[in-house]
Structure 1
Amino acid sequence: MPTSNCTYGLRELLVKVLKRNTKRIDQSSGDEISEMASVTKEDRISSLPWDVLDGILVRLPLKEVVRTSILSSRWRRKWTGISQFVIDDKCIPSRISDKVARWESIMEILRQVQLHHTGPIEKFKLAAYCRPDHSDLDQWIHFLADKGLKEFILQEFDTIKRFNLPFCLFSCPLLNRLELFGCRIKPSSEAIGFKSLANLHLNEVCVTGGTLECPSLACVDIGLRARVVPRLFGSEGGKLIRVIGCLHAIKKLSLSSAILVFLGNNGVPDKLPALLPHLSVLELKDVQLDSLTEVLVCVCIFRSAPNLEELHLSVASTTVYYRPAADFLITKLSNHYFEQLKVANIRAVQNVQTETILIQLLLAHSPVLKRMTIVHYGGRIFPTEVLEQSVPASKDVEFFNLCV
């Protein structure tokens, strides 16, 4: 390949990226790559083993990877063979503002990949503001399903109707991470079983016509707006037990207020029949502490997670004191200890009495607590006298009382 400023610049960039990000590379290859920084008469980077070159290219923005096609005939199609494709707004020319036209720009990339790609595609992420043609997207997912896919991420994009996710995606034996927004999953009457899935993030996703069972999940994040009435994990009774109770390997769980309401619709036990022994991080978003249903679900999860180490809870904006919810907190948590809890973050506090009760119970029943952070919304901090009246079970706890 002829030497040029462009080529040398690319070489410099690739060497820097490789040195910074690539950890697993044999010593001989590392010496060869370091030497390339000073070589201007010979193109030796093109002769690198493909797995090493792929490890460099996937760490660059896709737009920059595509630009390597202008370097020479040897590089014209190289970009189409990489193992990870992250498509975001940066991949689309800034002059294109129409959402349909933006999708067509994305499809040109996907068509080139389908025509020329060989080998596995381990990760695909779509996070671009566009209006996808669902038939195109469906066809692309079928293509990915035979490519050894490990991560599939559909983040927010503008769409009028929900995208029906092809069932072939769930037959990918290596699929480890799944993030979906605004989709509909319509399986057969049989349960959806994920053999390798460890990370699941669902936002505005409907699951209809079957059940969703993932016993090996380590991280789950389910977001849902109140206006959406989905049928998650089947629509029969015992939702809380069926959804949360089967996540025996889970380490991190994140739930929104609306999903708490959904889970609590058909009755809530004091604790789950099978505990969640590995759950160490729990995030509860926009919880309405004046809702008895949401409080019931929260307490059930607390009592079912004996090894909880971090609690991150944001409170929905309210000025209402609802005595049944407060009384339930006192009754059920007065004899419950957070034996392993080290970090507690309570955000969007409004100085409602139910919030105060929860904070005092956490302090009094967390013997190894290291840090409690209280973030008050409204321009003034949480009253210090409330904290002074509390007797922490932990002698080492630090308080961070903030306002925004």
Structure 2
Amino acid sequence: MVKFSMAQKGSKKTKSVTPQVDVHYTRYKKRKSLNNQPDMISDLPKDVLYRIIERLPLRDAARMSILSHKWQKIWASTPHLAFDTHFFTRVLKKKVPEAHEFLEIASKILFQHDGPIPKLSLWVPELKSCPDVTHWIAFLSRTGLREFDLCNKYRTPLKLSPHLFSCKDLEKLMLYRCIFSLPLNFKGFPKLTSLKLYGINIVYNTLKHLIGSCPLLQNLVLKDFSGMENKHIIVDAPNLRNLVIDGVFGSLDVKVPEDLVSASFVLQKLTINRREEESSYDLINALANSSRLEWLCLGGHICKVLFESCSLPNTCQKLKNLELQSLHLDDLNDFSSAVSCLQSFPNIETLNISVNTSKSLDEHVLVYNPDCTLHHLRCAKIGICSGSSTELKLIEFLLDCSPVLEKLYISLTMPLKQSRHSRMTSQLNRFRRASRKVEVVCPERKVYPKVPVSVSFPSSSSAQHITIDSSSSDDTYYL
């Protein structure tokens, strides 16, 4: 609305028309024009809107439902629900919540969902009592579940409903700290390609039956099992491409498939007798002769067996990434075996080594063959624990025998004193480098602040006050 005002009568000045704008009317027109503009995001295809919802935290995704009727339908039928740690931390807002609060919140969202739920992630927080999620699993078994992740942070294993094993469309399954047994009518997971089990309480026959009932299994992870200390574990899955086994077992027998691309064996303990020793040797030789293996991780007992063999054939042509965990370099044989092991994989491009224990040995006995070259090694990481002469000699070997090395990362698994750290840095600068462009990344020495600690006893009639000055201690540690 525009108002016009005329100049006063009799005025010598020329008449003029001065427009005066109604501010409220202008704001109204702008608001109306914005409301009439099309909602470009809401007009996107439904599958794109689902992807937007999936990338939001669950609480924020639920709030999107108030935008419009269309967004309410999108939220109520989203195919992926993630009850993760971020969600429950923001919603419960308690360190140790009650179980009924946890169940009430998740049930309200789950049972009001409209449509199939092909993917669900469930994180069970630390609660005051054990929750019962059997009714959830029974509900999910009727919704076309294809991917299911269950991470239980409660102090005891979570008992699973047998309804889970009736989900014939399952493709990916991850369980953390659970207990279950297979129902008598279990016929397997015909579509399962990924199975990850962490901290599971299960009998061996059930595990064997479960693995054998997944004909398309490609990814298998078995970690931190209980009750398998005296069991002979057999893993036979012909279509495996990725395999991770980490735990304490009586013995291990793995049928290495032809298409295996990555494998990790970190075994803290095995029963030592002739049969188990032979099966470990056979496993290592099978891995070394694998034609498609690209990534290999060995740790614990399996490394000891590897070092004792010292006769691996150099036939693992495609192996590019090697990890050796929890090494013990306490004598000359350990050092020589570690060097021989590295020389058995001449085509590796990345190397990761972690040392658990080591002793300083005389440098004149720590020798290696400089002619055995790692021609393709470009990046190496080594975690040392004490900066001993044995550990430093291993670093010298990597620098001296790797002509294309670009990065060598050194990490400290334990704090070092200032004198030892300075001596280690000095020796690193003197090592010969076969590669002109190699960069050695070593952690700087960081001094922890020396803060006095005060201890008071207010309950006594004559209160005492004791100050402990840490600056007087000789055991100052550095990183």
Same fold (TM over 0.5): yes
Distance in 2 (alpha carbons) for counterparts of 1:72 and 1:263: 50
What CA deviation, in whole Å up to 9, does each residue of 1:6-59 have, x standing for no partner? xxxxx9xx988723867xxxxxxxxxxxx98842477442796xxxx42xx155
Alpha-carbon shift at residue 75 of structure 1 (Å): 1.8
Higher fraction of helix: 1
TM-score by length of 2: 0.60
Distance in 2 (alpha carbons) for counterparts of 1:232 and 1:211: 17
Higher relative contact order (CA 8 A, sep 6+): 1
Does the alignment pair 1:339 with 2:339? no
Alpha-carbon shift at residue 216 of structure 1 (Å): 2.2
Residue in 1 that maps onto 2:215: 173
Letter in 1 for 2:292: A
3-state DSSP class of the match of 1:259? helix
Alpha-carbon shift at residue 386 of structure 1 (Å): 1.3
What CA deviation, in whole Å up to 9, does each residue of 1:285-327 have, x standing for no partner? 221122556545533442232321111111123334278xx85
Residue in 1 that maps onto 2:387: 351
Does the alignment pair 1:110 with 2:137? yes
Does structure 2 retain, via aligned residues, the 8 Å contact 1:125–1:152? no
- The worse-fitting range, judged by mean Cα deviation, of 289-298 and 214-223 is 289-298
In structure 1, which of residues 105, 130, 138 is the aligned counterpart of residue 156 of structure 2? 130
Distance in 2 (alpha carbons) for counterparts of 1:281 and 1:252: 5
Instruction: Structure 2: give runs of 5+ residues left out of the alignment.
Output: 1-41, 56-63, 89-101, 163-178, 446-478
Alpha-carbon shift at residue 112 of structure 1 (Å): 3.6
Distance in 1 (alpha carbons) for counterparts of 2:359 and 2:52: 54
CA 41–367 in structure 1, closer or farther in 2 if over 3 Å, else same = closer
Distance in 2 (alpha carbons) for counterparts of 1:201 and 1:72: 33
Letter in 2 for 1:395: R
Alpha-carbon shift at residue 396 of structure 1 (Å): 1.0
Distance in 2 (alpha carbons) for counterparts of 1:141 and 1:300: 50
Distance in 1 (alpha carbons) for counterparts of 2:274 and 2:181: 22
- The worse-fitting range, judged by mean Cα deviation, of 357-366 and 367-376 is 367-376
In structure 2, which of residues 403, 408, 414 is the aligned counterpart of residue 367 of structure 1? 403
CA 274–347 in structure 1, closer or farther in 2 if over 3 Å, else same = closer
Residue in 2 that maps onto 1:61: 84
3-state DSSP class of the match of 1:225? strand
Does structure 1 retain, via aligned residues, the 8 Å contact 2:219–2:240? yes
Letter in 1 for 2:157: R
What CA deviation, in whole Å up to 9, does each residue of 1:60-82 have, x standing for no partner? 53988995763697626x5xx53
1:251-266 matched pairs, under 5 angstroms: 251-264=294-307
Residue in 2 that maps onto 1:199: 242
Work out which of the two has the higher radius of gyration on C-alpha atoms and give 1 or 2: 2
1:188-227 matched pairs, under 5 angstroms: 192-206=235-249, 211-226=254-269
Residue in 1 that maps onto 2:38: none
Distance in 2 (alpha carbons) for counterparts of 1:348 and 1:127: 33
CA 142–15 in structure 1, closer or farther in 2 if over 3 Å, else same = farther
Residue in 1 that maps onto 2:74: 45
CA 71–286 in structure 1, closer or farther in 2 if over 3 Å, else same = closer
What CA deviation, in whole Å up to 9, does each residue of 1:218-253 have, x standing for no partner? 222222224x43799965263464353244322222
Alpha-carbon shift at residue 107 of structure 1 (Å): 4.0
Distance in 1 (alpha carbons) for counterparts of 2:262 and 2:150: 18
Alpha-carbon shift at residue 363 of structure 1 (Å): 0.7
Alpha-carbon shift at residue 339 of structure 1 (Å): 1.1
Aligned residues: percent identity? Answer: 20
In structure 2, which of residues 194, 197, 209 is the aligned counterpart of residue 154 of structure 1? 197
Residue in 1 that maps onto 2:113: 75
What is the number of residues matched between the two proteins? 351
TM-score by length of 1: 0.69
Alpha-carbon shift at residue 260 of structure 1 (Å): 0.9
Does structure 2 retain, via aligned residues, the 8 Å contact 1:261–1:293? no
Does the alignment pair 1:310 with 2:350? yes
